Amino acid sequence: MTESKLLVIVIRTPNSDRYLPIEALLKNDKRFELEYIEASMTPTYNDVSSRNIAYSTEIFEYFHGRKLAPPEIGCADSHNRARHLIQFSSNGGVILEDDARIIDVDLFYDVSLLFLNSSQRSKSILTLTPFDKLIKNHSKKVKKIRVLGTPDLAVAYVLTPSAAKSLIKVNQPIVSVADWPNSRCKFYITNIQCITHGDANTRSTISVDENDFRNNYDLKLKLSQFFLLTINKRPASLNIQEYFYVIFFKRLLWYFEKVKLVVIGFRPKK
């Protein structure tokens, strides 16, 4: 029986060999259709403009107290271009940043294909990195676990064509970071880890040290600033429901999922 091919798109940093460990595993394996897109490297807003990347920082700044940084815009553009390829694929596929490291290539193939085969008609995304570094060390049977919020990172994830279309629709022009723009997608994690993020020779190409409105402001300040901004500066396209979801409920759901996973047997990675 001929095995189904799995589309894998690698976002590759220009002038870097970070992608080589992925290529070494997948290039000559007939189970995979390996494609690359060059990452949009945008250290400055001039670089963003020179690439003709459409973006708006208004809503992001309203939520987080700072503008989208140029590297974040470039990263979101890279993921949009990768998601575009997934959108027009027949079955969906996997997007990997070039510092994703595959632990077990057979498991990676099986987990990804199983998810796509069971989720074709939905806007579904499976992240392959651990949720807040929580893993289940002694699992034997692969399971997908629905999370009500969003996972941590967009380093390695499987998605259906419908999910890719949804993510592009809400983030083009770019108004959010790549992980994750507000959408109606369903997110899942797996109980068996098959991807790690980075190794001793890689580091993040995005470094943003400015204040994050969600994490650093206390509740009273969030509420008071919300009502002040609602009167004076609230973007016309932003409604109250969206504000409370992003600032409060999204974070609460993240903590809820962390507690839930610990209860069902997930533990911090050692």
pLDDT tens per residue, range 245-257: 776 777 788 888 8
Give phi and psi for 216, each to the nearest 5: -100, -20
Residue 210 binned pLDDT confidence (cut-offs 50, 70, 90): very low
Asked if residue 154 belongs to a domain, the reply is: yes
Count how many domains the chain has.
1
φ, ψ of residue 58 to 5 degrees: the values are: -60, -55
CATH of the domain at 109: 3.90.550
Q: Determine, yes or no, domain membership for 213.
A: no
Tell me the whole-structure pTM to 2 decimals. 0.85
| Residue 245, domain extent | 6-208+238-268
Environment class of 87 (CB within 10 Å of its CB; exposed 0-12, middle 13-18, buried 19+): buried
Query: Could you tell me which residues are beta bridge partners of residue 131?
Result: 134
Listed in sequence order, the DSSP H helices in 156-249 are 161-170, 213-216, 219-232, 240-244
Confidence class for position 217, pLDDT limits 50, 70, 90: very low
Is residue 1 one of the residues assigned to a domain?
no
User: Does any domain span residue 228?
Assistant: no
Residue 215 lies inside a defined structural domain of this protein: no
What is the mean predicted confidence (pLDDT) over 92-113? 96
Q: How far apart are CA 143 and CA 188, in angstroms?
A: 10
pLDDT mean over 116-142: 83
